[in-house]
Amino acid sequence: MQTGLKFAGVSIAVFYLGTSLAPGASGAWSFGTEDRGHPVLSYAENSKTIFQVGCGHAFALHAVYPGSRQKEREKARITIDNGKRRMNFAGEISESFENDPPNTTHFVQWDLGYKRQDPRLYGKRWKVREHRLLDFLDSGRPLKVSAAGGRGYVLPPVEARGWKSRFEQIC
């Protein structure tokens, strides 16, 4: 696993468009910077990370994987749908982080799918992809995170005031 992005996250997962992982728990979106000043947008429930996006040593999208349990480093895909558009992410199963909910599998995609050695990484097309993702997350709509087979969970609309402009400024 790559190091360099240290995420302090809070998160919520809602399976099947409404059933919470932790009944009665309330979740919230948060935006902040970790100890090296790298931006992190995350959703949390009971101090357990379900979803987050951050940049620093690398650009990373982390999510509790909504599909069946898989082995570490196995290739995986998730789809995020906001009711108007959907975005697909190819990544891999990662070791769990200390803030992950118990008995969950962790999905990660590094650098929006670009390889570390790709000379186009952080170039013009990469920036277009980054802005598209940030606009998508900032749509004001709920986000359904799903895996093959349709199994998934729903996150409420991002409600972290001013997060996108601060994220773009830093990243």
Q: What is the mean pLDDT of residues 98-110?
A: 91
What pLDDT score was predicted for residue 150? 79
Does 131 have pLDDT greater than 60? yes
Give the contacts of 106 (CB within 8 A, at least 6 positions apart).
Answer: 62, 63, 64, 65, 93, 94, 95, 96, 97, 100
Does 13 have pLDDT greater than 60? no
3-state helix, strand, coil in the chain (%, to 5): 15, 35, 50
What pTM does this model have? 0.82
Q: What's the chain's average pLDDT?
A: 85
Token pair in block for residue 102 = 């118990």
At residue 18 the predicted structure's pLDDT band, cuts being 50, 70 and 90, is very low
